Amino acid sequence: MWLLHSSIGRKLVMSISGIVLILFLLFHLCMNVTAVFSPEAYNGICALLGANWYAVAATVGLGAIVAIHFVYAIMLTLQNRKARGNDRYAVNKRPAGVSWASQNMFVLGLIVIGFLLLHFSQFWYKMMFAELVGHHEVSPWGTEMLLSPKDGAAFVQYYFSQLWVVIAYLVWYAALWFHLTHGLWSAVQTIGWSNGLWLNRWKWFANIVATLIFLGFAFVTLFFYVKSLCCSAGCQ
């Protein structure tokens, strides 16, 4: 199959899967921002998703897309290394017009995947998976307190009250920002929705989307951290 064996086919799969994942990030961002303004509404969304069959099916599909995106990234990286041969050992300056992110997409992707596993272990495993196996109460990492798997707002508040978690997530958001600033416009170009006139416009659009995602997730994380500090100091 040309999607598997040809360079163009592999890049096309990478591009389409990447755009789908960006759309999911925007949905996830909107959901998380809801928790800032209304924990009850956020829990309502969590209950709507939860362990319902359609949410489980979407999660499986999303996991498959992440896996495909990552596997194809490995294939393209190995292909590029093979094509460069001994040149990959030479120390060269970055060519003009080539961003740092574009030369480090695979490393950035590894960071994103690594923190994604942390995120899954803190939230998905303690919420959707706990519901699927019939647990009515679970303990978040590092505490013996019990929470309902459906109380997503409580999980968010607990985890983002810990400084090391906040720092780790901010690092994740930064890596994601770099990854998206190159990945989005590159995906659009690969699909064929770009030309000489639109290329710079797509690059600006990619920067705007990546920055929106970074600032949105960072805002939610820092909001709950500051809220925890206020509660510790006796604020209402």
The predicted structure's pLDDT at residue 162: 94
Residue 15 CA, distance from chain mean position: 15
pLDDT at 10: 82
How far is it between the farthest Cα atoms of the chain?
63
Q: What pLDDT sits at residue 91?
A: 47
Instruction: Write the pLDDT tens digit of every residue in 13-44.
Output: 989 999 999 999 999 999 999 999 999 999 99
Helices (H) and strands (E) counted in the chain, each on its own, are: 10, 0
The two structure tokens encoding residue 206: 């990619």
> Which residues of the chain fall below pLDDT 70?
1-5, 84-100, 194-196, 234-236
What does the alpha-carbon distance between residue 63 and residue 17 come to, in Å, rounded to a whole number? Answer: 11
Please tell me the predicted confidence (pLDDT) of residue 6. 75
Q: What pLDDT, on the 0 to 100 scale, is given for residue 25?
A: 96
Task: State residue 38's pLDDT score.
Answer: 96
Residue 194: its pLDDT value, please? 67
DSSP 83-120: HHGGGGGS--PPPTT--HHHHSHHHHHHHHHHHHHHHI
What is the model's pLDDT at position 199? 78
pLDDT of residue 232: 76
Closest to 119 in 3D by CA, of 66, 73, 72: 66
Question: What is the value of pTM for the model shown?
Answer: 0.86
